[in-house]
Chain A
Amino acid sequence: MCLAVPGRVLDIEERDGTRMANVDFGGVVKEVCLEYLPDLQVGEYAIVHVGFALQRLDEESALKTLELFAELGMLQEEFGDAWEMAAAEKAGVADGDGVEEVHQP
């Protein structure tokens, strides 16, 4: 949860007086608030944490980090179904190890 994931801005619009964007995290698209990086533009990459863009990042670093997080199961953790994961963990199915289940999108 403390990890922030890099993503690419797809489009930007004003919603409820807030600057929001659709951001692509290697295939998963989420709504992200740009209030803390107000001059971020379409096509740029940023480090995003719990739906907020926090710092710009260059494309190369962003793609490398995404790859690593996918490999570590961190993307699954961030975007997967938390109830399913919790249930699986409890049942001992995954035994806490989401690594093998994650595919690079």
Chain B
Amino acid sequence: MKYIDEFQNPELARRLLDDIHATVTRPWALMEVCGGQTHSIIRHGIDQLLPEQVELIHGPGCPVCVTPLEVIDKALEIASRPEVIFCSFGDMLRVPGTGRDLFQVRGEGGDVRVVYSPLDALKIARQNPDREVVFFGIGFETTAPPNAMTVHQARSQGIRNFSMLVSHVRVPPAIEAIMASPDCRVQGFLAAGHVCSVMGTREYPELAERFRVPIVVTGFEPLDILEGVRRTVRQLERGEHTVDNAYARAVRPEGNPAARAMLEDVFEVTDRAWRGIGVIPASGWRLSAKYRDHDAEHRFSVDGIRTVEPAECRSGEVLQGLLKPHECEAFGTLCTPRTPLGATMVSSEGACAAYYLYRRLELPTTVAAVAGREVTPVV
């Protein structure tokens, strides 16, 4: 119980943990869907404070990680064009495409810019009417509404030189795909809090019922995660499978109706490939026909790109909870944040990056030495 003193409220953490320990009688496997939760769990050693019977499996909830290689390659191609100003969130810069990343494209002369908000990209388009401004629109249900609003504004304000390369993904179909897999071991879900801030909880009761799996909406702070685990384990021990909200301070059942309405106007549901996992039906959004003029895939013909996944990278299995990052042979040797093979090692929310940052002891010793930081014992 090394880390518990670092909790903001160690007393409360202790009580939650005691309750979980007292409740558990059998092994349970829970999946935390969100990459932010994964980092919080690993950083605070929460998985090691829990009873041995409770296993936390890391889910696919990192938007950077699941963006398909093909889309990254399209982005790189568009960003290389001289007439284009390519705008992206900062965490996409080092995500490897086939052979290179956006960081390199800029080094080769591409006009790649990092923006904080998609509205910043729209501003750049206003200021540069003679250039083509393209925004890289990726992310889950939390990011989709801001991007939707931006495309909507581009259209209503007649900003014709703005387009978006859209690759949005939706959580519920991913949960469905995970549960439907014959290899699935997941018995309960800690659902991603901020996704639910937008979408509410209405999509979950049907899933909970069909797969007889508890789904507990959970935040990111260590105490939130402990509370999410506590409520999920309680349900499992009692044989229940309902949707519960352990993050009520930020999640209302109806989510954010204005944001949901905008999503429905701007996007339409589509099948989407997830990097390393493959196509999940109805798991994504693309721009609806009304907004075709602002669809970068229409504006730039980027078909015929050949994408090659690095053979060593097993991030698909990591993202589905079938493999822990350090069980990948390339982990910490061939693959480090400096020489990433997969997006899960690059992204600040990637599971491989979380293990690399906070689990130095499990690295091969040479790598730990190179990393040169003090290593915190994990037991």
Contacts and interface: CB of A to CB of B under 8 A. Distances in A.
A31 B371 CA distance: 37
Please tell me the size bucket of the interface on A: 35 or more
B117 A50 contact: yes
- Indicate the member of B64, B106, B221 with the most A CB atoms within 10 Å: B221
Given A33-B119, A50-B89, A65-B221, A2 B63 contact: yes
Interface string B192-221: 101101100000000000000000000111
Given A1-B89, A65-B219, A82-B91, 17 more contacts: A1-B90, A2-B61, A3-B349, A4-B142, A36-B256, A36-B262, A49-B146, A51-B117, A58-B249, A68-B222, A72-B43, A74-B36, A77-B91, A90-B94, A92-B370, A95-B372, A96-B338
Nearest to B138: A1
Interface in A57-105: 57-58, 61, 64-65, 67-68, 72-74, 77-80, 82-83, 85-87, 89-92, 95-97, 99-100
Nearest to B119: A51
Contacts, number: 163
Interface residues of B, number: 63
A68 B267 CA distance: 33
A16 interface: yes
Contacts of A49: 142-143, 146, 194
B118 A83 contact: no
B259 A54 contact: yes
B117 A55 contact: no
Contact of A31 (B117, B250, B337): B117
Nearest to B146: A52
12 contacts: A3-B194, A30-B117, A36-B256, A51-B119, A54-B194, A55-B250, A65-B219, A73-B348, A86-B90, A95-B336, A96-B356, A96-B357
B93 A2 contact: no
B174 interface: no
A86 B93 contact: yes
A80 B348 CA distance: 13
A53 to B, nearest CB: 9
Contacts of A30: 116-117
Contacts of B39: 72
Closest 5 CB pairs of A and B: A51-B117, A82-B90, A96-B337, A52-B146, A55-B197
Contacts of B63: 1-2
Contacts of A33: 117, 119, 146, 149
A16 to B, nearest CB: 7
B34 interface: yes
